[in-house]
Amino acid sequence: MTANRKDDREALDRLMSVMVDDLLNMPEEELIAETLSEGHNPTEEAEAIRAVIEQAARACGQSRLKAAKNAVAAGRAKQNQNVVRLDASAARQRLAAILAQNVDSGVSLAARNQSQLSDADVFGMLADLKELGIALEKKTPESES
Amino acid sequence: MTTVSHAEQMLQELGIGQPAEIDLEAIAYTLGAQVRYRPLDGCEARIIGSNGSAIITVNSRSSRMRQRFSIGHEIGHWRYHRGRILVCRPEDIGRSGDWSSLSPERIADGFAADLIMPWYLFLPRARQNPRLTFQVVRTLADVFDVSPEAAAIRLIESRLYPSILVCHAAGGRKWFRASPEVPTRWFPQAELDPDSYAFDILFGTRPDDAAPHKIGADAWFDSSEAQYYEIQEQTIRTGDRRILTLLTLNHSRMLEDR
């Protein structure tokens, strides 16, 4: 029974695709003539279809936004658990080294109204980098080979 | 304003049709960026990203309106400056010192304004008001959940009013923004004129102006032409020992290009 329903749905999808392709490939004049022959106003029909498409696009966007809101709410409780075990001076050196290594390899960093970084800021940035999968450990000759 | 900006296009693609629907954290999430709130000492906000994912951290000690603008600003960096390190040279991280702002900051600011106050939602509401006053500014600031200053700047940029927004502190003029309709010869004086209502608000105990006052234009502009015209002036305090003044130039001859 379930298999039959699936087959039916796939058959219907194929039929819809054929009909849509048929419409898309039809010359504009022919489409207008056919619409007129059926007693419809082509401009009104086009506007109605455009409204349906816009409504569908809006609904799709709203659905994406709703999913994002739910994900944000679900993730709110989750804090960055990454602990960076370095002293402040070493942490600053590591951050500078990581950014120097990554200038040409895709790390993005921007800060608004940036002034001097506190130790807490530096540790926070290292924790963010760790969460994003950037290795904080110093590369040794062995690890690079 | 007839073209749709990237920020506005993004909002429309998410089906956003009301200001209250502009959920910046959710919008950031659709772009792979998570927003966190944490005390920050060195900046208002930052974004760190890699491989399509990013963490935006916003100063938890800032006002909510400032946080919103900061999130929009960092989303702007994620949209336009991905893969770049903008705050400083990496070697600067290890030592103290100020980092100068870079031109991408303006791009990110513009993106934030378009994201938080998109013209397609802002203009229809602004157009309902034939005169620009701080009451209009506050109404729109509430609707779009932004500071009065941000809403006022947006209204000045809207081209709906021949107005200038000026910010003063005790040391003099801090900045001003003029509507594109206002000729550049109308350049507000650096120091407040004692004849202006704004002077008594900044230096005295006069309360904020509830409505605009008529005043001679020469109280605000050095041009000799100013003595022939009257303008409207309205001033409010902004809470940081600064005042904002709206100057409206209604006289048609003031708006003629020379």
Residues A56 and A107 in one domain: no
Residues A107 and A49 in one domain: no
CB contact under 8 A, A68 and B30: yes
CATH code linked to domain B6-118: 1.10.10
Residues A118 and A55 in one domain: no
Quote the minimal CA–CA distance from B19 to chain A in Å.
14
* pLDDT reported for residue B98: 39
The answer to whether residue A142 sits within a structural domain is no
CA angle B77, B31, A61 (to 5 degrees): 130
CB contact under 8 A, B30 and A65: yes
Decide: B85 and B99 in contact? Cβ < 8 Å.
no
Which pTM does this prediction carry? Answer: 0.81
Instruction: Please report how many Cα atoms fall inside a 13 Å half-sphere around the Cα of residue A142, on the Cβ side.
Output: 1
* Residue pLDDT, tens place only, B125-139: 999 999 999 999 999
Q: Is the pLDDT of residue B63 over 80?
A: yes
- Looking at every residue in chain A, the average pLDDT score rounds to 82
CB contact under 8 A, B93 and A122: yes
Q: Which of A38, A57, A82 is the last residue of a domain?
A: A82
Percent helix, strand, coil in chain A (nearest 5)?
A: 70, 5, 30
CB contact under 8 A, A57 and B15: yes
ipTM of the complex: 0.77
Residues A50 and A117 in one domain: no
The answer to whether residue A145 sits within a structural domain is no
* pLDDT reported for residue B217: 97
Decide: B94 and A92 in contact? Cβ < 8 Å.
yes
* Residue pLDDT, tens place only, A39-63: 999 999 989 999 999 999 999 999 9
Report residue B188's pLDDT band, with 50, 70 and 90 as the boundaries. very high
Give strand pairing partners of A132.
none
* pLDDT reported for residue A3: 63
Instruction: Please report how many Cα atoms fall inside a 13 Å half-sphere around the Cα of residue A55, on the Cβ side.
Output: 6
* pLDDT reported for residue B20: 96
Kindly report the number of other CB atoms within 10 A of residue A67's CB atom. Answer: 13
Q: Which of residues 37-76 of A touch B (CB under 8 A)?
A: 57-62, 64-65, 68-69, 71-72, 75
* pLDDT reported for residue A86: 76
Outline which parts of chain B fall under CATH 3.30.450.
Answer: 120-255
Report residue B1's pLDDT band, with 50, 70 and 90 as the boundaries. low
Alpha-carbon gap, residue B211 to B218, rounded angstroms:
20
Which contiguous run of DSSP H or E holds residue A91?
A: helix A88-102
The answer to whether residue A120 sits within a structural domain is yes
Residues A8 and A57 in one domain: yes
Residues A72 and A103 in one domain: no
Q: Is the pLDDT of residue A106 over 80?
A: no
The more confident residue out of A92 and A136 is A92
Nearest to B54 among A72, A108, A125 (CB): A108
Residues A118 and A65 in one domain: no
Could you identify the residue written with the tokens 């704004």?
B198
Residues A66 and A94 in one domain: no
Residue A81 contacts B, CB cutoff 8 Å: no
Q: Is the pLDDT of residue B244 over 50?
A: yes
Quote the minimal CA–CA distance from A75 to chain B in Å.
9
Residues A32 and A77 in one domain: yes
Percent of chain A with pLDDT over 70: 79
**Number of structural domains in chain A:** 2
Q: Is the pLDDT of residue B91 over 70?
A: no
CA distances from A131 to A124, A136, B55, B106 (A): 11, 10, 9, 29
- Looking at every residue in chain B, the average pLDDT score rounds to 91
The answer to whether residue A48 sits within a structural domain is yes
CA angle B94, B98, B99 (to 5 degrees): 85
The distance of Cα B213 from the centroid of its chain, to the nearest Å, equals 23
**Which residues of chain A are within 8 Å of residue B81 when distances are taken between CB atoms?**
108, 110
Quote the minimal CA–CA distance from A84 to chain B in Å.
16
Outline which parts of chain B fall under CATH 1.10.10.
Answer: 6-118
Give strand pairing partners of B50.
B53
In the CATH scheme, what architecture does the domain B120-255 have? 2-Layer Sandwich (3.30)
Residues A92 and A132 in one domain: yes
Q: Is the pLDDT of residue B251 over 50?
A: yes
Report residue A111's pLDDT band, with 50, 70 and 90 as the boundaries. confident
* Residue pLDDT, tens place only, B195-226: 999 999 999 999 999 999 999 999 999 999 99
* Residue pLDDT, tens place only, A121-145: 888 888 888 888 887 666 544 444 3
Between helices B119-126 and B6-13, what is the axis angle to 10°?
A: 90
Residues A69 and A104 in one domain: no
* Residue pLDDT, tens place only, B37-60: 999 988 889 999 988 899 999 999
> Which domain does A93 fall in, by range?
88-137
Q: Is the pLDDT of residue B88 over 50?
A: no
Residues A6 and A73 in one domain: yes
The answer to whether residue A34 sits within a structural domain is yes
Percent of chain B with pLDDT over 90: 83
Decide: B49 and B82 in contact? Cβ < 8 Å.
yes
CB contact under 8 A, A108 and B47: yes
The DSSP result for A22-39, as a single string, is HHHHS-HHHHHHHHHHTT
- The type of residue at B91 is E
